[in-house]
Structure 1
Amino acid sequence: MALAALPYHEPGIVTILIQASFLIILNGINWVLDNAIYCGLVGQILIGVAWGTPGANWLSQEVQDTVMQLGYLGLILIVYEGGLSTSFGSLWSNIYLSGLVALIGITLPIGISYVLMELLGATPVQAFAAGAALCSTSLGTTFTILSTSGLEKSRLGVILSSAAMLDDVAGLVMVQVISNLGGSADSFSAVTVIRPVFVSIAFAVVVPAFCWAVVKPITKYVFSGPTTAEKEKSKVRGWICTPVSAFAAHTLILLGLVTGSTYAGTSNLFAAYIAGAVVNWWDALVSTTLQEQRPAPVTEKSVRKGQKASTSSGGQMTTPSPPTSDASTSLTDQPVSTTHEKLRGAVIYEHMCAPAMNSILKPFFFTSIGFSIPITQMFRGAIVWRGIVYTILMIFGKLACGIVLVRFTSTSAKVQLPEGQQSTETAASNETPDSQTGEQAPSANSKRKRQAPRKLPKPQSLYPSLMLGSAMVARGEIGFLISSLAESNGVFGTVEGGGSSDIFLVATWAILLCTIIGPVSIGAMVNRVKKLQKARAADTTKPDPLGGWGVES
């Protein structure tokens, strides 16, 4: 018989203490590790292992399920925030690099995973399933690293976030594939792959096309023209231009795309990323439209030019009249742009979502990863050494992505002097007077220098490459999802007594260690880069450790 209402029971003091300590320690360890090495999420994963089913099991099954569900909401918002920090223009300008990084990050782990056929006696389908779990890149980890390190708007950050998204789209396509495999290659069909692939492509093409063809003309009409000031005064416009209405509009866009992608058969995380990018694109479009309506500012140079023109045309210099109409238009339009700045997606997110995200939803997401790690079954000797070997191979499979950012420079390049300055000592030493002509001739020393063989080029700073590869190493939520699906659907085989298969445990070792090693590595490198950049501020002759990859895209 169904209950008419849920009976209210006061929780016991033990329950209160466990859940209070759970929330406090989650945020405390995140603050400590974020300030130390930019990887508080690793501590939150370990807290999930300790408090959840794999460890002490202090949290009830119902609480762990609730934490996992709320954590997934946090994951959606993490990815949405990543979309807010990326624009379509930046994505398009770096798409070939992002695509190449993603291609390496997908193909190498899947190809290397076929060593499991020798390492564990796996079948080709099982090796493919393990590689599919390890080809993904944790979006939650990636965007958390970028936001804590401040690199989300740099060219490195744009390439990393879009490559991680492409990897996860491929990984989520694998989810659909593996969920339909059913443990044998006979259940594999082309529709299993084609549907999620083409739906993802459709979202990536149709949404920007709709924005360009429909949203852009409407926005131009609403925010341009002489009636802009009048619209600002209207009651409807006054209600629309509020943080609450902007929050509602952004939420509807996010939920609409997430819901549509889920029913269409593709990744709702991919849709969340697109929703963030759409909101960011619209903010930039409105700013551009408002800027086009503003007149050019009156400067001293323009006044002198106007005076010169009037003198040359009439023979007498006249004082130009003040631009009253332009000034009034600028002042009238100023509230519109000021209001729009307060309604930007990033500003709304920071005020409406960030408090709950940073203290509850994001920690719950990383904790829920810890809930899914079968730590008690993973410490058999044969599983441990195979898991470590597989982890090393999977780390190299993602570190190879950094090769795309390696750039070379010649070691014989000279430091350029400012224009118009030359070293007189160098010129004197390299020139000798010619006895016949009296002109300066190159010395034998300079001839030998010109004839010396050129040194091999050496790579520029490897920090961008290593940071990109390290960030791609973390597998996280999608890896655990794919691996768990393969295990529950029998793709990894069945074990008597309800235990986990060896392939699943080895894959879990690799996912777990990669999810810890990746953030710790890039956190240490971000610390080092920030110290080098701080030293460079005092000595400008030192090169930037990130070079052009650290420039805002």
Structure 2
Amino acid sequence: MAAAALPYHEPGIVTILILSSFLILSNVVNWIFDRLLFCGLIGQIAIGVAWGTPGGNWLSLEIQDAIVQFGYLGLIVLVYEGGLQTDLKTLRSNLFLASLVAIIGIGTPMALSFTLQGFMNITPVQAFAAGAALCSTSLGTTFTILATSGLNQSRLGVVLSSAAMMDDVVGLVMSGIIASLGQSSDNFSAIIVIRPVFVSIAFAVLLPVICAFIVKPLTKVCYKLITKRRDSKLHTTLTTEGAAFCLHVAVLTALITGAIYAGTSGLFAAYLAGASISWWDALCTELRDSNSRSTVIRDETADSTSQDNSAEPKEPVSKSPESQQASPSLAARPASSSQTSPSTTSPPPTSHAHLHGTAIFTKHISPALHSILQPFFFASIGFSIPISQMFTPSILWRGIVYSILMVLAKLFCGLCLIRFSGPVIPTHQLTNFLPSSKHLPWPLLRTTSKNTTDAATTTTTQATPSPATIDPKQGKKKKSSPGNRIPKPMSLYPATMLGFAMVARGEIGFLISAIAESKGVFGDVRGEGNGSSELFLVVTWAILLCTLLGPIVVGTMVKRIKRLQAAEREKRTGREDPLGIWGVLPRGDDVEEGSGMAAAATS
């Protein structure tokens, strides 16, 4: 018979001290590791190992199970935050290069993971699961590195963040595949892998179609109806933070529920929910801006008409240059006077910025996420790491070898940014099939516009300036190389930074590995029937070492690059910027031009 109620018991002082120290130290260690190594999640995982079953076992099994449940809720919110921070215009403008980097970052670890069969007794399915865990890139670590280094708005930062997002999206799909493999490990069939993939593709394709052909027209109609009744209770209610919060939570819950019942990962749906809300916020901002511009133009037209009607008919109809110069001041006076009239004044474009998804998330969700839910998730990962079994000699050397392979696999991503002194493939043949754009990955196929040249020369030397702007001294240099070729770079900093920034696996890697272990995909290859599988321990070593090594190397390189940049600016040595064009901040017109080219190419 079920209990009618849960009796209330006051927790003991030992329980209070354990729980409070667990929460406080998780946040303190996260702050310290973020400042030193750019990977605070390692510290939170270590707290989970120490306080959980692998270490001191100070937390009871019931509390650990509750932390696991709340931690997964925190993971959903973390992925949702990544979707909110997705800039769709920037993503479109760098889609080709970011996709190439992501494909290399996914395919190479998957391929090299099958080498595990050479020194471990595992099946191809288990090697596939190990590669799935190591194909992701830590979004949290990537954003932390970019924000700390100040490269989050540079071309290198845009490509890196876009590729990391794509890697994580594929990793989220992989988590659904691994879960299906575990549930049907006895009777494996192709449908187990195909169904999550095709359901994820269906979500990724159908959701933009629904947004473009259903949500967008419906939003325009509703916006017109609501703006006509600005003083009504409906308008007041819909423009509150509570209404926006409920709408965002409803979209997130609906997409996650539909994705799980359809057979794919709910985390992938959480990312799509965040990206959809970010797109909808941009649409609403565009509608408000266009409405405010039309209102101002309408007011100016009405005021100028009234001025013409009230003027004395002594002047001729033709306007003199003096009257044309005075017209802006006449238009400015009614505009200033109309600001005092609440009936004709439209709200400024930023008046509803507090209703955007990022603002609602920052105010209402972020404090609980970063203080409680995120530490719970990474600590729950620590609960599943058998630290006492990881230092066996056979596990240790295999983990180190596999870690080296996984580091090299991600370093191949940096090849996309390497410029060669001569063309490997004749460019006149490729240009017949590929569009010529400054956003293409291979610099031999890229053309530069005047705006890009002007923006880039502030920090680096452009390779192909227009002949009209060539300096006589520079012209002597350019004569020795063809106009469609870019000289070899002074350094490999951009390629190396991109490769090592992609090395950190982080939360998604730990998640897929833990799912594969709990579902029995990794199996118990040692045949002992207890403890963790050998493959799980090797994969855990690889994820830990990669997550530590990537941020440390990138942080060291960022410090050196900043010293070189500071020395060059102070002494004016005339050397090129170490990052070259990849350290240039992309301008707004460049992003718009790139998005237009991407849209034209896809159409």
Partner AA of 1:522 in structure 2: V
Residues 78 and 154 of structure 1, relative CA distance in 2, 3 Å threshold: farther
Counterparts in 2 of 1:87-102, with a 5 A limit? 87-102=87-102
The residue that corresponds to 1:304 in the other structure is none
Query: Could you say which residue in structure 2 is the equivalent of 1:282?
Result: 280
**Residue in 2 that maps onto 1:306:** none
Q: After the TM superposition, which of the residue ranges 352-361 and 382-391 deviates more from structure 2?
A: 352-361
Q: CA RMSD in A?
A: 4.0
Query: Number of aligned pairs?
Result: 523
Q: Which residue of 1 aligns with 2:372?
A: 360
3-state SS in 1 of match to 2:55: coil
- 2:291 aligns with 293
Match of 2:548 among 493, 509, 516: 516
Task: Map 1:246-285; keep pairs closer than 5 Å.
Answer: 246-285=244-283
Question: 5 Å matches for 1:107-506?
Answer: 107-143=107-143, 145-146=145-146, 154-181=154-181, 187-223=187-223, 228=227, 230-295=228-293, 313-314=318-319, 317-318=322-323, 320=327, 321-322=330-331, 328=338, 332-335=344-347, 337-407=349-419, 457-459=487-489, 462-494=492-524, 495-506=527-538
Q: Which amino acid aligns with 1:476?
A: G
Cα shift at 1:489 = 4.5
SS at match of 2:261: helix
3-state SS of the aligned residue for 1:479? helix
Structure 1 residue aligned with 2:305: none
Cα distance change, pair 79–317 in 1 and its aligned pair in 2 (3 A): same
Q: Provide the C-alpha distance between the structure 2 equivalents of 1:450 and 1:314, rounded to a whole number of angstroms.
A: 55
Structure 2 CA distance, aligned partners of 1:239 and 1:131?
A: 49
Q: Secondary structure at the match of 1:335?
A: coil
CA-CA distance at 1:481 after TM superposition: 3.6
The structure-2 alpha-carbon separation of the partners of 1:117 and 1:421, relative to structure 1 and needing over 3 Å to count, comes to closer
Tell me: CA distance 1:539–1:451, structure 2 relative to 1, closer, same or farther (3 Å): closer
- Structure 1 position 157, deviation (Å): 4.3
Shift of 1:246: 1.0
2:577 is aligned, of 520, 543, 546, to 543
Distance in structure 2 (CA, Å) of the matches to 1:163 and 1:413:
25
Task: Please tell me the residue identity of whatever aligns with 1:503.
Answer: L
Q: TM-score, normalised by structure 1?
A: 0.81
Distance 2:75 2:40 in 1: 16
CA distance in 2, matches of 1:311, 1:533: 64
Shift in Å at residue 549 of structure 1? Answer: 5.7
Unaligned runs of 5+ in 2: 298-314, 423-459, 592-603
Q: Residues of 1 paired with 2:465 and 2:162: CA distance? A: 36
Q: Secondary structure at the match of 2:166?
A: helix
Change (3 A) 1:214 1:190: same
1:314, distance to aligned residue in structure 2 (A): 4.7
On the 8 A contact 1:139/1:165 being kept in 2, the answer is yes
Shift of 1:129: 2.6
> Hey, what does 1:305 align to over in structure 2?
none
| SS of the residue 2:502 aligns to | helix
Retained in 1: the 8 A contact 2:41–2:506? no
Partner of 1:51: 51
| Residues 399, 539 of structure 2: 8 Å contact kept | yes
Distance of 1:274 and 1:159 partners within structure 2: 20
Task: Supply the AA of the counterpart residue of 1:398.
Answer: K
**Distance apart, 1:113 and its partner CA:** 1.6
Q: Structure 1 pair 125/291, CA: closer, same or farther in 2 (3 Å)? A: closer
- Measured in 2, the distance between the counterparts of 1:311 and 1:394 equals 81
1:262 is aligned with what amino acid? Answer: I
Q: State the SS of the aligned residue for 1:519.
A: helix
Aligned-pair identity in percent equals 55
**Counterparts of 1:531 and 1:96, CA distance in 2:** 32
The alpha-carbon deviation at position 397 of structure 1 amounts to 0.8
Cα distance in 1 for partners of 2:478, 2:247 equals: 67
Give the conservation status (yes or no) of the 8 Å contact 2:504–2:550: yes
Separation (CA, whole Å) in 2 of partners of 1:475 and 1:83: 18
- Describe the SS at the equivalent of 1:473: coil
- CA drift at 1:182: 5.8
Judging changes above 3 Å, is the alpha-carbon distance between structure 1 residues 341 and 180 closer, same or farther for their aligned structure 2 residues?
closer
* Distance in 1 of aligned mates of 2:580 and 2:68: 37
**Cα shift readout 1:440-482 (whole Å, capped 9, x = no counterpart):** xxxxxx8x99679999942365444333323322223433343
Structure 1 residues 124 and 545: CA distance shift in structure 2, 3 A: same
| Residue aligning to 2:539 | 507
Determine helix, strand or coil for the equivalent of 1:496. Answer: coil
Q: CA deviation at 1:208?
A: 1.2
Structure 1: distance between partners of 2:258 and 2:31: 36
* Cα distance in structure 1, aligned partners of 2:50 and 2:93: 44
